[in-house]
Structure 1
Amino acid sequence: MNGVEAFLLGRTLMKIGEQAMPGPKSGPAGPVRSVVVVLGDIVSHPGTTVGEIAARTSLPQSQVSTAVARLEQAGSVDTEPDPADRRRRLIRPTAEPSARVTEVRATTIDEALAAALTGPDGTAPTPDTVREVTAALDLLARRLTPSVTAR
């Protein structure tokens, strides 16, 4: 596998993940990708600021601010004033997962994965194929977490 193939595989996996995630119970759906990227950064760097997240993720600061607001509304993150600069807010994951976080974590990718594995002629994947790909994804998830790739 080369870098382009790895990049394209990553984009395909992101799309499968997005399709599998349950929509929000209230408010506009909005882009999921930036919210997940921002949350991943906050989990890896608790006590961070919007500007720091924007610098690490290369997302525009306005998009990071919107994502943080959505995460705070969903009960996924807490914010507090930065003691060093009261104009900034420090962002960290909540101590206990919210109902929304619990719901998202409990949702599997099974249906979205089966749809992605469906042949161009509409042929559904075999149960063995789904199990094989799921096992490969489980291995990748264990070996390539965000903290591993940040090194």
Structure 2
Amino acid sequence: MESVRADEGPVKAVDQRALAVSVIDISADIRRKSLNDTGVRPLSNGVLEILRVIESHPGITVAEVAARLGRQFSNVSVQLRELVAAGLVTRTRDAADKRYVALHPTPESQRIKALLEGAWADALAAASSRLLPEEREQIAASLPALQRLAALLAEPE
């Protein structure tokens, strides 16, 4: 199925279901194949998502994390305690309003983030090396659109 845009001509429709399944499969396989090489204690997907939100938005509150992830405040709070206990997140109370608690990643969290992202990139590079050159070019050309799509999906609902 194709649609037509006045500025660019026909645009091939994306099979959204196939794209979603591929993204989920790639994500799961990257995490599985890269964990052994990092020496990092495995983090559940839920905890990792919370950590990534805090790293992307230092100073965010628990309520804001919950809203961004579409989760219950109490569930995020429980998982957040795990991150604090592991030394990956700090909580800072506002001096003017003690109810306000800002969340920040620690240097250890940032070290782990860099380590994991490097391992994920290595896993992708190993698999990508088995693709045809034109397939690697297609993936490279789609990266800006995928990054924009990720940003749109990350917006709070």
3-state SS in 2 of match to 1:22: helix
Supply the distance in 2 between the matched residues of 1:43 and 1:15 (Cα, whole angstroms). Answer: 21
Contact 2:87–2:106 under 8 Å retained in 1: yes
Aligned match for 2:89, one of 50, 69, 77 = 77
Within 1, Cα distance between the matches of 2:102 and 2:55? 13
Kept in 2: contact 1:20–1:109 (CA 8 A):
no
What secondary structure does 1:80 align onto? Answer: strand
Moved more, 69-78 or 57-66: 69-78
Number of paired residues? 139
Q: Structure 2 regions of 5+ residues with no counterpart?
A: 1-13
Partners in 2 of 1:43 and 1:94 — Cα distance?
Answer: 9
**Contact 1:35/1:67 (<8 A) preserved:** yes
Q: Is the 8 A contact 1:42 1:53 kept in 2?
A: yes
In the alignment, is residue 101 of structure 1 matched against residue 101 of structure 2? no
Could you tell me which of 14, 24, 38 is aligned with 2:27?
14
RMSD, aligned α-carbons: 3.8
Structure 1: 5+ residue runs without aligned partners? 118-124
Bigger radius of gyration: 2
Q: 1:121: which partner in 2?
A: none
Aligned ranges 1:1-151 → 2 under 5 Å:
1-22=14-35, 29=42, 31=44, 33-83=45-95, 85-94=97-106, 98-108=110-120, 110-111=122-123, 127-129=129-131, 137=139, 139-143=141-145, 144=147, 146-147=150-151, 149-150=153-154
Seq. identity, %: 22
User: What is the match of residue 11 of structure 2?
Assistant: none
Q: Any idea what the Cα deviations from partners look like across 1:30-56, whole Å, max 9, x if unmatched? A: 52x112321232233321111211111
TM norm structure 1 = 0.62
Higher share of residues assigned helix: 2
TM-score by length of 2: 0.60
